[in-house]
Amino acid sequence: MLKDRFRKFLPVVVDLETGGFNSKKNAILEIAIQLIDEENSMLVLGESHRFHIEPFQDLLVDDDALEFLKLDLNHPLRVAVDEKFALDSIFKIINKQKNKYECSRAILVGHNAFFDHSFLLEACLRNDIKKSPFHPFSLIDTVSLGVLATKQTVLARVCKELNISYDNEEAHSAAYDAMVTAEVFCKIINDYDFNTISTN
């Protein structure tokens, strides 16, 4: 059972796109989660969910960040929602998945997971969200897993070593990055489990 693999923690891959690197001063612009399911004792990708987010009042969006993300906040097809609405919606989805697998908490999985986690913590504080499904400080970082499995830390290079497709044109979209990070996570965990089982 999935609940027994990570000490009753439900792994949920999270990726944020932000208006800078300071979690206290810069706005969240996009959030995506990639759920993880289990089939025949293997971790597989489940549903994905994404929200474009209106920058929270008085938080900064750096021009350099928008250029890097190739993001136009005023694009007519960018349907953005309030930050609290996005977080409440995401957390409800995670809690439903958590109950499905009888897990006690979710644990955030990310590439440089501390970055995404720090922004989530600040967003919960400013929106007075007291019950996040995520563990308050434990994380699973695919940088650490990636360097162990491939000797690489950059996501694109980790993917290359693992024979996972990576499209530079799609990169830095929260939904795409969450999906690719989830593929890395599942492959490394599945391969480790298989090798451990086969050698014992």
pLDDT tens digits, one per residue of 39-82: 999 999 999 999 999 999 999 999 999 999 999 999 988 999 99
- Reported residue count of the chain is 200
Judge contact between 177 and 171, C-beta under 8 A.
Answer: yes
- pLDDT tens, 85-109? 999 999 999 999 999 999 999 999 9
Q: Domain-by-domain residue ranges, the chain?
A: 2-140
- Residue 1: pLDDT band with limits 50, 70, 90: confident
- Provide the strand spans (E) within 22-128: 28-39, 42-53, 80-81, 105-110
Compute the distance between CA of residue 170 and CA of residue 145 in angstroms, rounded to an integer.
23
Compute the distance between CA of residue 75 and CA of residue 129 in angstroms, rounded to an integer.
29
Question: Which residues are annotated binding-site positions for Mg(2+)?
Answer: 15, 17, 172, 177
Q: Is the pTM of this model over 0.85?
A: yes
Q: What is the pLDDT of residue 171?
A: 86
Question: Which residues are annotated binding-site positions?
Answer: 15, 17, 172, 177
- Provide the strand spans (E) within the chain: 9-18, 28-39, 42-53, 80-81, 105-110, 134-141
Say yes or no to pLDDT of 187 above 80. Answer: yes
Compute the distance between CA of residue 98 and CA of residue 112 in angstroms, rounded to an integer.
23
- Would residue 172 show up in a list of annotated catalytic residues for this protein? yes
**Among 49, 75, 135, 172, which one carries the catalytic annotation?**
172
Judge: domain 2-140, CATH 3.30.420.10: yes
